[in-house]
Structure 1
Amino acid sequence: MIIFGNAKLCNSKIHYTDKKQSVGDEMNKRKLALGNRNIVGARVTEARNQIGLKQKDLLARMQVAGVPISLPALSLLEGQKRPVSDIELKALSEILDVDVRWLLGQIEKS
């Protein structure tokens, strides 16, 4: 059996499945444990989720702000698997409308 998207090729016949990926309010949950390469990743995820942004939306806003970052890099940042630059930290603070000190864990969210 060979699977192409939502079509399965079985013995020269194609069968289509009606399985659709969940779309809507439900966001993907982190599958791996957080890393230790930065201290802001978990708070970036928290702030992003609180304002209802998806990773790709945050990515687009960061790129418009002039921060050259890819989706895998943003995912690694949120997973605390890669360091965060000062330029990224400033942009994240402005886009997510949170204090840089909160992202760094120095103050509580007001």
Structure 2
Amino acid sequence: MRLRKQALGTRNLVGARVEIARKKLGMKQKELLAQLQVNGVDMNASGLSKLEGQIRSVTDFELVALAKILGVSVDWLLGRSE
């Protein structure tokens, strides 16, 4: 498992929670990317890594797909609920 080289960014609120939920499910980034593709979201490995590192913004389509795939609410991803 690689460790993050850069400090977390400030471009989104959801990245850290996406990583938490993904790891809780035992899902690798590659698996999440495949599920995003199935749900109509075109993202590459670099984009997901940047999203999780809060270096890249997230679109509303991506946010909804991530919540669905990870089995969490959009509010949870945004940090508005526990």
TM-score range, shorter chain: over 0.9
2:76 pairs with 1:102: yes
**Amino acid across the alignment from 2:56:** R
* 2:46 corresponding residue in structure 1: 72
SS of 1:75 mapped into structure 2: helix
**Runs of 4+ with >3 A deviation:** none
2:31 pairs with 1:57: yes
TM-score, length of structure 1 as denominator length: 0.72
Q: In proportion to residue count, which structure has more strand?
A: 1
* 1:39 corresponding residue in structure 2: 13
Q: How many residues align?
A: 82
**Amino acid across the alignment from 1:59:** L
Tell me, which stretches of 5 or more residues in structure 1 are unaligned?
1-26
Distance 1:93 1:82 in 2: 17
Tell me, which stretches of 5 or more residues in structure 2 are unaligned?
none
Q: Which moved more, 1:29-38 or 1:81-90?
A: 29-38
* 2:3 corresponding residue in structure 1: 29
Q: What is the percentage of aligned positions where both structures have the same residue? A: 59
Distance 2:43 2:78 in 1: 20
SS of 2:2 mapped into structure 1: coil
Distance 2:51 2:63 in 1: 10
- Shift in Å, 1:32: 1.7
Q: CA RMSD in A?
A: 0.8
TM-score, length of structure 2 as denominator length: 0.96
